[in-house]
Structure formats: C-alpha cells, structure tokens
Amino acid sequence: MLVDVPTIRPHKLAMAVMHCQVLCLVKITCSDGVVGWGEGTTIGGLAYGPESPESIKVNIDSYLAPLLIGQSADPFAASARMAAHIAGNNFARCAVETALFDAQGKRQGVPVSDLLGTRVRDAVPVLWVLASGDTAADIAEAEDMIARRRHNVFKLKIGRRELAEDVAHVARIKRALGDAISIRVDVNMAWDRHTAMRGIAMLADVGCDLVEQPLVNHDVAGMAELKAQGKIAIMADESLTGPVSAQAFIDADAADVFAVKIEQSAGLIAAGRVGAMADAAGTALYGGTMLESAIGSIAAAQLFCTFPNLQWGTELFAPLLLTQEILTTPLTYRDFALEVPQAPGLGITPDEVAIARLARGAPTRTITHG
C-alpha cells in the first residue's frame, strides 16, 4: 500500500524539496499465518533514483508477488529467487525481503539481527540532518536536539546554492555549535570535480569532518582523487548499489567511508555483504537511510547492530521527520541513539488503523495462490 505522510518541516536536498514522504508498505501473510512487514521508500519521488514508491508497488504487485507466491518463505531463498529473476528494482526487492525476514524472525522467535549475524550492540548512534534551508533555524534546531540528548552529530545538506554561500552556512553552524559537535555535509552528487576540489578544501578550513557523495554516482575515479587529497573523509552513498559497486570503490580506493543502505543494496543480505567487504578492505562504515519510516528504519537498524565496526554511526532519524506515528509503540530514541528491539522479527507492531487512515484510496490488491 502507498501511504502519504507529511514531514515536520520542508526537507531541502540538492535534488528535491520534500514536504511529504510516500511510503510503500508491504505486508506479507505466509501460509502458516505468520505476517511480515517491509517498506520501500524513495526520496523526492524519482528525483533521487530510478525507483518511485508507485513503481515499487506496481512491480511488487505485477512481478515480485507472482514470482514468490507458492515458494519458500525463507528470506534467503526468496532473495536469491528475486535476484535471479528481477533486474534492478533494488528498493522493491528490499521491501519484500524485509517482510520475509520479519516473518522468519517471528516464526523462529528471534530478532532479525540474529538471522543476519551476531548482534554486537542494542542501540545505534543516530545523527540529525539539518536541511531547513535557513542557517539560523538550523542552529536553533540543532541546539534543541543537543539539549534533549537526541542528537549530537549533524549532517548538513548542501549543493543547492553557490559554493561560497554553502560553506558560509556550514561555518556559521560549526561556530555556533562548537568543537565538540561533529558537522558533516552531504552534497548529493551536486558538484563537478573542480567544484569538489575547491569545496572540500574550504570545508576542511571551517572544521567539517566528512563530505558525502560530492560527485555524480558513476564518477569512481573522481572520488578516488578527492580521497587522495586527504583533507576530509570522503563517503560514498548514491554510488553504492550493492556488492559489485562496493568492489569497484574498494579496487579504486575511492572512499574512506561507505554509507550502507538496505534499499540501495537490494536488501538486508546484500547490504550485509557490502558491510563485510568494507570491513575487509579497511573502509569505515556508516548506516544510511532513504528516509524510511519506522518499518524500514528498524530493519536497517537490525542489520547495523550486527556490524562489528560502525565508525560513523547512522542516520536512522527519518521516523522523527514524519508527522504521523505508524507503530502501536513508537521507536525509542534516547541518549543520541536508536534502540534496536529484541522482540522477534523486526520487533515492532505496525498500527494498521493509523496506516489505513493514511493510505491512498485504492483498495490493496490481494493475490491468492490457487
């Protein structure tokens, strides 16, 4: 089902301004009666990548569901079947795989983390993204977050404005918040190589700790050049779409940090492989988000809590950016971290009444296996 949820304020990224998040929520009922939930969500419709919430729904209904109905509900088997028969559509595959992991965890009485690896932490650090577009409003927002012990690391979305204006914005926020607070930026592919060379040098001078995806996603060589400068940590995000892309970055020594995203990687299993590859190569890790609601965010948290190294924390803050609660019990954000539930499956209970109220009018299509 497609669910529209307004955000608490406009969220301004280089490629889109979001006022609302569209969730594609997947509910799978297995033949033993066990139910699992998953989520496919994008940023700004088609602004960020080739899948939209609407395409995720139509492709699940038309292709993924018929492929899987009557087959094993084991998430590893289903994931392999999807990979063999469905090209691309990483977000849609992730949504279905997540729902099957939720169901499998409930079936076996274990949290999804235990199906993916060994849980090494029960909470993951979570930063906040300052993206109101207004420097003073961003500073006030950050100070409020620090005072409430909700976030003490901030990521700034830049790349929409002139370089000097963007750097001045970062500098003012860094000065206002002080040395103890880590400030990072996400350019979302908005710079060319020359702008990136200049921009990174300027950002280093104002105390910025990391630059995320300064260049277009396919420019691996350009990212390697920026990393070789050694001025600020370089993080790959949009470039990483699973293990094959991760290998290209490792071979080219093109990033200090990988932002691992379960949707971009085509699911929890593939994202776990990206994490293991980064570890083996000495690349640091960060848990990324596609601004998923509580369902997708906690699925990612179940994976990230199994990563032995999570040097740069996570950005699983998006449930706090949404105005509507879709769980019967909200997620727990405390002491700058998100707690990862221990209950079976994803460890959450979707509020189906709230979800039905927010869902788009058309009735959900149900396919039964004959």
315 is an interface residue for Mg ion by CB under 5 A:
no
Name, in order, each residue with C-beta under 8 angstroms of 111's C-beta and a sequence gap of 6 or more: 105, 119, 302, 340, 341, 342, 343, 344, 345, 346, 347
For the bound state, the minimum distance from the C-beta of residue 261 to Mg ion, rounded and expressed in Å, comes to: 9
According to CB under 5 A, which residues from 236 to 255 bind Mg ion? 237
Question: Closest CB to Mg ion among 23 and 43?
Answer: 43
d(CA 33, CA 14): 44
Evaluate whether 19 touches 6 at the Cβ level (below 8 Å).
yes
Q: CB atoms < 10 A from the CB of 79, how many? A: 21
Single out the catalytic residue among 157, 174, 227, 261.
157
Question: Closest CB to Mg ion among 42 and 59?
Answer: 42
Question: Closest CB to Mg ion among 138 and 212?
Answer: 212
For the bound state, the minimum distance from the C-beta of residue 254 to Mg ion, rounded and expressed in Å, comes to: 16
Residue 115 corresponds to which tokens in the numbers above?
Answer: 């199906």
- With residues binned 3-state (H G I as helix, E B as strand, rest as coil), the percentages for the chain, rounded to 5, are 40, 20, 40
DSSP one-letter code for 90: H
Single out the catalytic residue among 212, 238, 292, 315.
315
Evaluate whether 286 touches 258 at the Cβ level (below 8 Å).
yes
For the bound state, the minimum distance from the C-beta of residue 174 to Mg ion, rounded and expressed in Å, comes to: 19
157 given a catalytic annotation:
yes
Using the rule CB under 5 A, give the single segment among 157-165, 210-218, 277-285, 318-326 that binds Mg ion.
210-218
Question: Closest CB to Mg ion among 237 and 292?
Answer: 237
Q: How many residues bind Mg ion (CB under 5 A)?
A: 3
According to CB under 5 A, which residues from 180 to 199 bind Mg ion? 186
337: nearest Cα among 155, 150, 146, 141: 150
Active site residues: 157, 315
Q: Which residues bind Mg ion (CB under 5 A)?
A: 186, 212, 237
